[in-house]
Amino acid sequence: MVKLTTKIAENADSVGVGAAYGDPVEIEGTTIVPVALAGYAFASGEDAEGQGEAAPAGGGGFSWPVGAYVTRDGYTRFEPNTIALLVVGIPFVCVAARALARVIRALKK
């Protein structure tokens, strides 16, 4: 079990900022640096009787492209990925609207 934890820790240290920022790409005088929201998690445990036997271990990760830093004519600005913003924004707006409706209903009583 200790070896598994050590291997995971070694790999996690090597990921760092490289998981969130891609390598700069230059296209026709414009430099683009892709940006992503990245995360990962791992878990393992022991058997239910506490015999110290290794239980199944698992892990997973994700990478969500949120946009890119674009440098043109000496100016750098962040350009968001509009599709990612819509995918995240629509459920947020729905939940916020529902919560607001409940608050208004509670205040009317």
Within-domain flag for 92: no
Residue 22 within a domain = yes
Question: Does 33 fall in a domain?
Answer: yes
Number of domains in the chain: 1
pLDDT beyond 80 at 99:
yes
- What integer pLDDT is reported at residue 4 of this predicted model? 63
- In terms of Cα–Cα distance, which of 45, 40, 32 is closest to 5? 45
Rg from Cα positions in the chain? 22
pTM tops 0.75, yes or no: no
Length of the chain: 109
* Amino acid letter, residue 98: R
23-75: pLDDT as tens digits: 899 998 899 999 888 777 777 666 556 565 666 667 777 778 889 999 998 89
Question: If we measure between CA atoms, which residue out of 97, 65, 69, 95 comes closest to residue 82?
Answer: 65
